[in-house]
């Protein structure tokens, strides 16, 4: 099959189902077909990269040259970037075809994609249920076979959680593995770009393409990029797998616990050594994250003032009024809530009590992991305590949504890689993922273990 045919199939499917699914914010039919034709030309000359001719969707938080990038927010409704994020440039260099941009929680703040201004993606397995978030459009578009893979971003679980809820594979790489240049910043010390795809193999290929040092991101790391695919299917005999007891407490849905238990048994039968381990500071990770992430966000989001780009209120008489009115009308409630929390936590007099304290506990969370990785190769756990829930269910209860992030956010606080791999389905037919975490720059262990579970 040619790339043009494949791309056309995806575009036709998007046209047919996306008015109901709501995964896409912007579809670039013309651009995608041009890229596909170019990929076919390259292939016929025996050229073309690792992704040559493969149709992909991109989270609308990544800057794409000449293609609208909204971040799921009204404030950037008409924003068209003048440059490509490094990861987009890399995808293009490898011949990938970009179908369009997909839905997400506004500025990636959320776990359901329900705050996306342009429409809320449904769970492809059950209409009316959330696809997860914030990279809900990425996971839904892959699961509904509108594309072959996607790029998302993960600040506290936003790749792994929607991948789990939609039954696809998602990986958050080690902090510094993938360039953040052109990823619109939410919480800069936690954000990472990563792939979502239908299987481990495709995820490994996508990650290989986007990884590597970038001089435009001062936190990207000069570290060789392994051939992740080479670890797929490798024996797990003797692999040490830690099961953190703090992740199996009350609040974990029994069906999820059973699916994860089944995953543990599969690894045990494959010759892995299963160990009971402890990450004692897990109970503080939600509190720490919801100080650090909003603090960084309140600073990062100061740039949306109506002056340089994005929505501007034209009726204001003074500059200050223009700032106020543009931000009041442009941002949604959740974004405003985070800006308020972050501004408060960073204000003089409160800084020591909140931000500084949270940063200190963050170090303890990192040390927990260090101790466990002294004796284990990977950590296995659920991704979320609950499967996908009904849209609107937690609308007036942001705190309970924050709490549902408990199993994913500590990986971001520590900067380690994490993967969600499909584990099974609930009786209602909702997918459930299994989470694997590994030490810094040990993504290959995730691929090795994940492929055994797949």
Judged by the rule CB under 6 A, the positions of this chain that interact with ligand GLN are 108-111, 134, 154-158, 186, 293, 405
**What is the Cα–Cα distance from 259 to 81, expressed in whole angstroms?**
43
> Helices (H) and strands (E) in the chain — how many of each?
14, 13
Across 142-256, the runs of DSSP E, i.e. the strands, are 149-154, 169-172, 192-197, 240-244
59 is catalytic: yes
Q: Is 113 a catalytic residue?
A: no
Nearer to ligand GLN, 156 or 423 (CB): 156
- Rounded to a whole number of angstroms, the minimum distance from the CB of residue 111 to ligand GLN is 4
Copy the structure tokens of residue 394: 């937690």
- Shortest Å distance, C-beta 183 to ligand GLN: 11
Residue 121 beta carbon to ligand GLN: minimum distance, rounded to whole angstroms:
15
Give min distance, CB of 162 to ligand GLN, in A. 10
User: Least separation, in Å, of the C-beta of 286 and ligand GLN?
Assistant: 10
| Continuous H helices in 174-249 | 200-210
The residue (of 230 and 251) whose beta carbon lies closer to ligand GLN is: 251
Q: At what angle do helices 200-210 and 86-93 cross, to 10 degrees?
A: 110
Q: Which residue's CB is nearer to ligand GLN, number 186 or number 389?
A: 186
Q: Which is nearer to ligand GLN, 110 or 450 (CB)?
A: 110
Round to whole Å and give the CA distance between 407 and 280. Answer: 13
Given the complex with ligand GLN, which of 114 and 405 has the nearer CB atom? Answer: 405
Cβ neighbours of residue 150 closer than 8 Å, sequence gap 6 or more: 56, 57, 58, 59, 102, 135, 137, 138, 139, 141, 142, 195, 196, 197
**At its nearest, how many Å lie between ligand GLN and the CB of residue 402?**
7
Name the token pair of 328: 């009041």
Closest residue (Cβ) to ligand GLN?
A: 158
- Of residues 3, 59, 113, 141, which has the active-site annotation? 59
Q: How far is the CB of 293 from ligand GLN (least distance, A)?
A: 5
Six-digit token string for 82:
């003048």
What is the nearest approach in angstroms of ligand GLN to the Cβ of residue 405? 5
> Is there a catalytic annotation at residue 158?
yes
Q: Which of these, 421, 444, 422, 445, lies nearest to 240 by C-alpha position?
A: 445
Cis peptide preceding 134, ω within 30 of 0: yes
Phi, psi of 325 (to 5 degrees): -70, -35
Instruction: Look up residue 161 and give its two tokens.
Output: 């959680």
Distance between CA atoms of residues 174 and 411, nearest Å: 9
**121 vs 130: CA distance, rounded Å:** 7
CB closer to ligand GLN, 154 vs 246 = 154
Catalytic residue selected from 111, 118, 134, 295:
134
Let me know: does 90 contact 210? Beta carbons within 8 Å.
yes
Cα 266 to Cα 55, 237, 241, 276, 321, distances in angstroms: 33, 12, 12, 16, 61
Catalytic site residue from 138, 158, 164, 404: 158
Residue closer to ligand GLN by CB (options 65, 337) is 337
* Distance, CA of 296 to CA of 317 (rounded, Å): 31
Query: Which is closer to ligand GLN, CB of 163 or CB of 293?
Result: 293
Shortest Å distance, C-beta 32 to ligand GLN: 26
Among 116, 11, 69, 144, CA closest to 135: 116
Which is closer to ligand GLN, CB of 154 or CB of 305? Answer: 154
For the CA atoms of 239, 240, 246, 252, the dihedral, rounded to the nearest 10 degrees, stands at: 20
Active-site residue list = 59, 134, 158
């Amino acid at each position: 099959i040619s790339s043009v045919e494949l791309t056309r199939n995806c575009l036709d499917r998007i046209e047919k189902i996306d008015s109901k699914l709501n995964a896409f914010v912007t579809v670039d039919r013309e651009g995608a077909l041009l890229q596909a034709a170019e990929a076919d030309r390259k292939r016929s000359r025996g050229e073309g990269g690792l992704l040559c001719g493969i149709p992909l969707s991109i989270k609308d938080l990544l800057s794409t040259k000449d293609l609208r990038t909204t971040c799921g927010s009204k404030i950037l409704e008409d924003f068209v970037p003048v440059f490509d994020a490094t990861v987009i440039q890399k995808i293009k260099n490898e011949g990938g075809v970009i179908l369009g941009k997909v839905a997400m929680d506004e500025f990636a703040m959320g776990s359901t994609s329900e705050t996306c201004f342009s429409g809320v993606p449904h769970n492809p397995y059950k209409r009316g249920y959330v696809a997860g978030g914030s990279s809900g459009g990425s996971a839904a578009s892959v699961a509904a076979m509108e594309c072959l893979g996607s790029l998302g971003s993960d600040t506290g679980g936003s790749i792994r959680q929607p991948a789990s809820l939609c039954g696809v594979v998602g990986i958050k790489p080690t902090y510094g593995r993938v360039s953040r240049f052109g990823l619109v910043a939410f919480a800069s010390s936690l954000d990472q770009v990563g792939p979502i795809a239908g299987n481990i193999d495709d995820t490994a290929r996508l990650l290989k393409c986007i990884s590597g040092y970038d001089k435009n991101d001062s936190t990207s790391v000069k570290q060789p990029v392994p051939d992740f695919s080479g670890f797929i299917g490798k024996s797990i005999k003797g692999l040490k797998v830690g099961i953190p007891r703090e992740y199996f407490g009350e609040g974990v849905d029994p069906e999820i616990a059973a699916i994860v238990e089944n995953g543990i048994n599969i690894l045990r039968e494959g010759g892995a050594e299963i160990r009971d381990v402890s990450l004692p500071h897990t109970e503080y990770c939600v509190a720490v994250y919801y100080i650090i992430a909003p603090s960084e966000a309140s600073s990062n989001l100061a740039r949306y003032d109506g002056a340089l780009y994005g929505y501007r209120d034209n009726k204001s008489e003074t500059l200050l009024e223009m700032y106020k009115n543009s931000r009041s009308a442009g941002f949604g409630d959740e974004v405003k809530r985070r800006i308020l929390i972050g501004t408060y936590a960073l204000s003089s007099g409160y800084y020591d009590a909140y931000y500084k304290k949270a940063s200190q506990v963050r170090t303890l969370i990192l040390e927990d992991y260090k101790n466990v990785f002294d004796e284990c190769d990977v950590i296995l756990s659920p991704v979320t305590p609950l499967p996908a829930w009904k849209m609107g269910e937690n609308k007036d209860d942001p705190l309970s949504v924050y709490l549902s992030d408990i199993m994913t956010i500590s990986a971001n606080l520590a900067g380690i890689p994490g993967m969600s791999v499909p584990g099974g389905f609930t009786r209602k037919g909702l997918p459930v993922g299994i989470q694997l975490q590994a030490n810094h720059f040990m993504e290959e262990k995730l691929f090795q273990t994940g492929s055994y579970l797949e």
